[in-house]
């Protein structure tokens, strides 16, 4: 049974799961579905065609499911926000629905969105991702599993951040940041591999050694990207990590952050 504070507004039509807590001055729109065990602590809003999975926690002033900040939005058309399980949305988090009718913004499981973070329309966020305070991603961006966006990071629309990548604070990227790497600056480039993150995640010494070789060839050999990728393809064992890096680069539409790319903080 849900527990709803008398000052909260839950519109007719909203679907509220078992064990949900909706605190003081919260708002839940008529097309919202909230899964079992979710907690809306106080003064937060869930609107639009938004679906929350189980055990999500929304802190004060979090706003989920508002229309996209985009001129292409058609008033009255259904656009969606789909959220998985066990996510934490801290104070002032803003996550919007898609733009075109029927389109969606998608959030996975076990993510942390710290205060003031923003996920724009049609983004895809994986699992175990951390948005540190005031980190933002533009429309259609993708942030893959276990990535970390440090404080005040900005990811341009349509860009991707690969699995287990980490981006240093106050950085901004308008190109793709590949998996397993640490990037910093304003398109400043990759500094090193995400060694601490990989060790904490249980990567073996052999896996980390292969990733170090990917970094050495792509970012320190002085080769142009196409030649570096071919060298990785032909000279390194085709482990899952190598194949993932190659596939990520092959599917890039914005271009991968290049080797030895100059930047303000590089």
Residue 203: phi and psi, rounded to 5, are -60, 140
pLDDT reported for residue 258: 80
* Residue pair 8/25 in contact by the 8 Å Cβ criterion: yes
pLDDT digits (tens, 9 = 90+) for 215-232: 999 999 999 999 999 999
pLDDT digits (tens, 9 = 90+) for 78-87: 999 999 999 9
pLDDT reported for residue 30: 98
What is d(CA 183, CA 158) in angstroms, rounded to the nearest whole number? Answer: 18
Tokens representing 100 are: 């075109």
Tokens representing 166 are: 């980490």
pLDDT digits (tens, 9 = 90+) for 47-76: 999 999 999 999 999 999 999 999 989 998
**Cα 91 from chain centroid?**
17
Give the pLDDT band of residue 265 (cuts 50, 70, 90).
Answer: very low
What is d(CA 132, CA 168) in angstroms, rounded to the nearest whole number? Answer: 10
pLDDT digits (tens, 9 = 90+) for 7-32: 999 999 999 999 999 999 999 999 99
pLDDT reported for residue 266: 40
**Cα 7 from chain centroid?**
33
Q: What pTM value is reported for the model?
A: 0.96
Cα distance between the two ends of the chain: 54
**Mean predicted confidence (pLDDT) in 94-101:** 97
pLDDT digits (tens, 9 = 90+) for 127-144: 999 999 999 999 999 999
What is d(CA 117, CA 153) in angstroms, rounded to the nearest whole number? Answer: 9
Q: State the DSSP H helix or E strand holding residue 200, giving kind and residue range, or none if neither.
A: helix 195-200
What is the residue extent of each domain of the chain?
3-140
CATH ID of 3-140, from 1.20.1740.10, 2.160.10.10, 3.40.50.620, 3.40.720.10: 2.160.10.10
């Amino acid at each position: 049974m849900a527990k709803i504070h008398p000052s909260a507004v839950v519109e007719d039509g909203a679907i509220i799961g078992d064990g949900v807590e909706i605190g003081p001055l919260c708002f839940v729109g008529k097309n919202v579905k909230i899964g079992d065990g979710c907690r809306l602590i106080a003064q937060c809003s869930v609107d639009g065609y938004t679906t929350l999975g189980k055990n999500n926690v929304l802190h004060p002033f979090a706003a989920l499911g508002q229309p996209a900040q985009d001129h292409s939005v058609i008033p009255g058309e259904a656009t969606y926000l789909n959220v998985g399980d066990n996510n934490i949305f801290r104070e002032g988090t803003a996550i919007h629905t898609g733009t075109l009718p029927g389109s969606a913004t998608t959030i996975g499981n076990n993510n942390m969105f710290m205060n003031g973070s923003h996920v724009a329309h049609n983004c895809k966020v994986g699992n175990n991702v951390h948005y540190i305070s005031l980190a933002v991603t533009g429309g259609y961006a993708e942030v893959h599993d276990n990535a970390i966006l440090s404080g005040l990071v900005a990811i341009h629309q349509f860009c991707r951040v690969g699995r287990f990548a980490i981006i240093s604070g106050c950085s901004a990227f308008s190109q793709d940041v590949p998996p397993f790497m640490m990037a910093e600056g304003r398109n400043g480039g990759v500094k090193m591999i995400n060694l601490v993150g990989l060790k904490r995640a249980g990567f073996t010494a052999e896996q980390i050694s292969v990733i170090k070789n990917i970094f050495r060839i792509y970012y320190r050999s002085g080769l142009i990207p196409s030649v570096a990728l071919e060298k990785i393809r032909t000279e390194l064992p085709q482990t899952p990590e190598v194949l993932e890096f190659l596939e990520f680069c092959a599917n890039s539409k914005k271009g991968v952050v290049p080797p030895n790319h100059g930047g303000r903080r590089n």
